[in-house]
């Protein structure tokens, strides 16, 4: 499967909000924690306001899916996105092979 990587210049890009979801819990078995709230990941959502995207995404339909380079797979938010305010949600992150190599060193 071949893909195309797009470099986007700031002057030709469009603004968007990108929500980068991560694991909800820091513990592999949060149900075993004394208090499940202590197992919550405080960084489970990072909201990037003012992200700059390829202009072709301006007409993306709600629910459409894309891969954002170095971020993972995203979809257009079903509820919050509109033509005047694009919102994308990361559904699957990419594997970070480099971080695994660094942690072994």
- Average pLDDT for residues 67-91, to the nearest whole number? 91
Q: Residue 32's CB: how many other CB atoms inside 10 A?
A: 9
Chain segment 29-66, per-residue pLDDT in tens: 888 888 888 899 999 999 999 999 989 899 899 999 99
Task: Kindly give, in sequence order, each residue whose CB lies less than 8 Å from that of residue 78, ignoring residues fewer than 6 positions away.
Answer: 62, 63
Question: What's 60's DSSP letter?
Answer: P
Q: How many separate domains does the chain show? A: 1
**Residue 98 pLDDT more than 80?**
no
CA–CA separation, 80 and 103 (whole Å): 38
Distances (CA, A) of 87 to 8, 17, 23, 56: 18, 5, 20, 14
Does 3 reside within a domain?
Answer: no
Residue 52 located in a structural domain: yes
Full domain range(s) for residue 58: 11-27+35-104
What is the band of 93 on the pLDDT scale with cuts at 50, 70, 90?
confident
């Amino acid at each position: 499967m071949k893909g195309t990587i797009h470099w986007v210049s700031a002057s030709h890009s469009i603004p968007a909000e990108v929500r980068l979801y991560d694991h909800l819990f820091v513990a592999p078995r949060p149900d075993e924690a004394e208090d499940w709230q202590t197992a919550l990941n405080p960084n489970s959502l990072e909201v990037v306001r003012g992200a700059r995207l390829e202009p072709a995404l301006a007409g993306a339909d709600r629910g459409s899916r894309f891969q954002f380079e170095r971020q993972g797979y995203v979809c257009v938010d079903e509820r919050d996105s509109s033509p005047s305010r694009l919102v994308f949600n990361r559904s699957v992150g990419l594997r970070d092979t480099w971080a695994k190599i660094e942690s072994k060193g």
